[in-house]
Structure 1
Amino acid sequence: MTIVRQPTRAGVRDAAAKIAAILPQTPLLTAEIHGRQVAFKAETLQPIGAFKVRGAWHRLTALDPGQRARGVVAFSSGNHAQGVAWAARRLGMPAVIVMPEDAPRVKRDATLALGAEVVTYDRRTENREKIAAHLAHARGATLVPSFDDAWVIEGQGSAGIEAMSQMVEMKLPDPDLVIAPCGGGGLAAGLALALPESEITVVEPEGWDDMRRSLEAGWIEGVAEDAPPTACDALMTPRVSPLTFEVLARRGAIGLAVSEAEVREAQRWAARVLRLVVEPGGAAALAALLARKVAVKPGTLVILSGGNVDPEAYAAVLNSAG
């Protein structure tokens, strides 16, 4: 029987120390929403434009020399891909990334530029997990899931450790409410471990809100086969994992869904007020707050998880009225 390693708060703190040794903290910004001050963790300003570098670095640095020599395989629509590629290049390891054919070109090109090999698949007819597992087995490489991995979850949680210390330094209230975008739940689960006293709210695009439905049902429910298209490519996860679900369910996290229009409005607000470029998936948590789907309270912390936008799509969002 295989024993699955469980993510822990101690692991999150170890990950935070690793990240602090190689990267500066991402900024913590503040602005008013509905008359209350809100803190924003700008993970959009990571070297790869997203928080995923955290989990990738924690995971890859845990590999022994033999594993590093054989390389890694990951599957991702783009941000985890870039995180793994960035970490692998820094550690001198080969990396293969399985990406959907319809992944934003800017993310695919950035992954290639970081030296990774990219293998594409059809999101609707092929299974990325099976493709990646086959490649890893054939090459003797280590499979690095985007969220279903204890090290990855712990690495993502390092954002919470940073945010807490920054809020203390800025004399802001402790993060009593943390609102985070959710695909597979790696970021949210890591934050739940990092900030055990905080309320956790996860936000997904409508039709892809399987974590919300799973938390409400008490068991894992996948996305419907006829799920609608969404601009939030980073949050298009067909099914969450037991690791992330169990952490969030144990913490009493709640889930919310936002519309495409609400996401676009959040992108425009972030550009206008925070002067930040935020991709659709990265703006989901902000969208829920702006749309009053969750009440602002003292100590509200919003994670802006990524800023890797398609230039033409982003320009269209900024130029639109709704």
Structure 2
Amino acid sequence: MTGKRQPTRDGVLRAAHKIAQILPPTPLLPVEIRGVKLRAKAECLQPIGVFKIRGAWHRLSDLSAEEWRRGVVGVSSGNHAQGVAWAARKLGMDATIVMPNDAPRVKVERVRELGAQIVTYDRPGGEDRDAIARELADRQGSVFVHAYGDPWVIEGQGSTGVEISAQMGEFSGSGPSRIVAPCGGGGLTAGIALACPDAEIVAVEPEGWDDVTRSLASGRIEAVQSDPPPTACDALQTPRTWPINFAVMKGRVAGVTVSEEEIRAAQRFAFAQLRLVLEPGGAAALAAALAGKVELDPESVLVLSGGNVDQASFRAVLDED
């Protein structure tokens, strides 16, 4: 798929330039947490409601004419799926997405609205989604666009950090000291680490899905432990990071975990204080900050990564308050 190509900071900067030509920067909002005034990057306000549009656009817009004719195959619970479908529609190419049969309905509907074909698999049954997608791509002759283990995708997600640095420069005259971001497979955190080499990067995972946190602590890639607990963070349910991501994150990124209760509290806080709707996974970084699990200073930035949540599920979270 990608040969020996590795993601680079120059690649991140090129991705940021490409994305700036089609999308405005998402806002960097002021927020006060535990007495500290800091900033939150509202990636939930992207056209598809999530940062995944960045990596998908960088990947698909770099395809050759021959690859464009063959189309693409992606695999996702819904956010990367929407990014690939959005980019494919804008570029006029075919896209097929492998999605779990328990994906949030709102995400499935939006992928269909964007014109992509959907092939489902049984996530609770333990089917290997990557194997399914690779076999489908081989059969169709399509390009496989992985959700996080792809150098173009990592670089595209890193454009988030390029925007943060520019916006922080305007607000405070200095770059971010710390960027806290939700983490599934590590595409976003690896990309931001490349984009912002002088900032501390913190990856936040739901409890029980802490493969990246444990991998960073042990120095080798660890898989999610058997029989992980249920989580509302469908976007962060990845079995393990990939070597291409880990090579960037190792020694550069710290990991923490948050509980389901802490995530729901963050969703309510974002709605009440920032007037934003966040999906559970998109609220993970905010949850870590509110729970006191990361240090904060005025140059810290929290990434609010996505807002694609079913109306009924979100209403239930708000009703807990």
The match for 2:260 is: 260
CA distance in 2, matches of 1:100, 1:307: 19
The match for 2:147 is: 146
| SS of 1:143 mapped into structure 2 | strand
CA distance in 2, matches of 1:61, 1:146: 16
| SS of 2:21 mapped into structure 1 | helix
The match for 1:89 is: 89
CA distance in 2, matches of 1:136, 1:214: 30
Check the 8 A contact 1:263/1:283 in 2, yes or no: yes
| SS of 2:317 mapped into structure 1 | helix
Aligned runs of 1:1-322 on 2, under 5 Å?
3-124=3-124, 125-171=126-172, 173-251=174-252, 253-321=253-321
Check the 8 A contact 1:52/1:80 in 2, yes or no: yes
Offset from partner CA, 1:109-150 (integer Å, 9 cap, x none): 000000000000001331100100011000110000000000
Offset from partner CA, 1:275-301 (integer Å, 9 cap, x none): 100100000000000000112123101
CA distance in 1, matches of 2:90, 2:84: 10
| SS of 1:22 mapped into structure 2 | coil
Check the 8 A contact 1:234/1:281 in 2, yes or no: yes
| SS of 1:32 mapped into structure 2 | strand
Check the 8 A contact 1:172/1:299 in 2, yes or no: no
Aligned AA (1:194) = A
CA distance in 2, matches of 1:263, 1:118: 29
Q: Give the CA deviation at 1:54.
A: 0.1
CA distance in 1, matches of 2:251, 2:68: 34
| SS of 1:255 mapped into structure 2 | strand
Unmatched tracts of structure 1, length 5 or more: none
CA distance in 2, matches of 1:177, 1:211: 18
| SS of 2:172 mapped into structure 1 | coil
Check the 8 A contact 1:184/1:240 in 2, yes or no: yes
| SS of 1:26 mapped into structure 2 | coil
Q: Give the CA deviation at 1:312.
A: 0.3
CA distance in 2, matches of 1:32, 1:181: 19
Q: Give the CA deviation at 1:172.
A: 5.8
Check the 8 A contact 2:158/2:190 in 1, yes or no: yes
Check the 8 A contact 2:216/2:251 in 1, yes or no: no
Check the 8 A contact 1:13/1:161 in 2, yes or no: yes
CA distance in 2, matches of 1:231, 1:224: 17
Which deviates more, 137-146 or 163-172?
163-172
Q: Give the CA deviation at 1:173.
A: 4.4
CA distance in 2, matches of 1:275, 1:95: 34
CA distance in 2, matches of 1:218, 1:224: 17
CA distance in 1, matches of 2:13, 2:65: 23
CA distance in 2, matches of 1:297, 1:91: 41
Check the 8 A contact 1:173/1:298 in 2, yes or no: no
Aligned AA (1:91) = L
TM-score by length of 2: 0.98
Q: Give the CA deviation at 1:168.
A: 1.2
Unmatched tracts of structure 2, length 5 or more: none
Q: Give the CA deviation at 1:171.
A: 2.4
Aligned AA (2:305) = S
Aligned AA (1:192) = A
CA distance in 1, matches of 2:46, 2:248: 25
| SS of 1:240 mapped into structure 2 | coil
TM-score by length of 1: 0.98
Check the 8 A contact 2:282/2:307 in 1, yes or no: yes
CA distance in 1, matches of 2:66, 2:175: 43
| SS of 2:250 mapped into structure 1 | helix
CA distance in 1, matches of 2:201, 2:74: 27
Aligned AA (2:285) = A
CA distance in 2, matches of 1:135, 1:207: 30
Offset from partner CA, 1:83-130 (integer Å, 9 cap, x none): 000000000000000000000000000000000000000013311001
Q: Give the CA deviation at 1:218.
A: 0.5
